Chains A and B, each alone.
Chain A
Amino acid sequence: MIVWLLARLRSLYHNLEAQVRQRTAALTDEMVERERLERELLEVSEREQRRIGQDLHDGLCQHLTGATLAGQVLEGKLAALNLPESGRCHKMVELMEEGIDLSRKLAKGLYPVEMAADGLMLALEEYAATTSELFKVACRFECDSPVLIHDTATAGHLYRIAQEAVGNAIKHGKARNILIRLEVGEESTGLSIKDDGTGLPESLPKNRGIGLRIMAHRSAMIGGTFAARRDEAGGTLLTCAFRAESESSKTAVNKPKIKIFLVDDHPLVREWLTNLIHQQPDLVVCGESEEAPHALQEISRPSPTWPSWTSHSSTARASS
């Protein structure tokens, strides 16, 4: 009897174990399938946004440009006949130009990152400038050394993370200063968005955590890790650490850089150009001047930091 009971118990135990294994396998399959669907959904959404952006840029913008040109021609004809309608026509042309500008901005929002490896740096810089202008906040982009992202999908995810974080900082955090940073570490590359707003609340209502979840999901999709926390100095700090194509980046950085000399009488323009050029992995500003004689003297002078143009291979090749 006891033997029979023990055998029966063992049999029941094995059955139960088999059922647990089956259920676990089914759950794992379900999770894998759900992750695949989430990934596909995000990819389809990205693709669709890109398509609408391209259609806006290549279709509507071109159409509006044609209409504006036709309007300008009409305005000229009306003005030549001294007709008062030329003023109204001018206003119409102005409105159409505003329409072109708006369409371009919309297209840019939908299709922000160009296919080039340095596209993310340029897109983030432009996004920071546009945000500052539109929302009257100080939004800056910093990148001490070039971060090249060769995979467009990765660049797209990083851009959307920054966009979501900045949007949250302005909308929910009421931030006045926002800093977007891209930096290369020894182990990984990091994107961080720091603001001086009210900071993350202790607990988020369900409908407020979606943005954070999507950012975390985007990070996971590029093999990165996402973290969001209240910053000790106030505000919020969001980080996404990921592995960029370090070898490609290093190769690009280690190549001899093409030297550029700036001649402009506005210090702000020189500073803007310097920042812009230094974000390029293969370009460097080697000097600047605000006047013609000094510039000519400097460019003609060979020096350890400013080699003769003709003897510097990359410059000679690039300039020929």
Chain B
Amino acid sequence: MAIVDITLKHGSGIELIKNLKASQPGVAIIVLSMHDERLYAERALRAGARGYIMKRETAKKVITAIRQVLAGKFT
């Protein structure tokens, strides 16, 4: 699994998700982001992420989201 932020030092998280889906389709990807705009979530999910969660969420919610994605669900 990979946990990816949208904003990165070099390159974009969305592009990374697309590249990862193309080269490593077995990797489950979840986005952990500061942006709560729906647009970002939609773009991330369209790019191939299976989950999108905010950084401000509690530790428990983050772990729950990771487990849901690992179980093959979308979150």
Binding site for B on A (CB under 8 A): 114, 118, 122, 125-126, 129, 258-266, 269, 273, 276-277, 280, 283, 290-296, 299-300, 309-310, 315-316, 318-320
Contacts and interface: CB of A to CB of B under 8 A. Distances in A.
Question: Which 5 residue pairs across A and B have the least CB separation, nearest first?
Answer: A292-B11, A291-B10, A319-B28, A292-B16, A264-B5
B25 to A, nearest CB: 8
Interface in B21-41: 23-24, 26-28, 32
Given A114-B60, A292-B13, A319 B3 contact: no
Nearest to A295: B16
Contacts of B12: 292
B70 to A, nearest CB: 4
Contacts of A310: 24, 26
Contacts, number: 103
Contact of B55 (A269, A277, A299): A269
B41 to A, nearest CB: 17
Interface residues of B, number: 32
A283 B11 contact: no
B24 A318 contact: no
Contacts of A316: 26
B56 to A, nearest CB: 11
Given A299-B2, A319-B26, A265 B59 contact: no
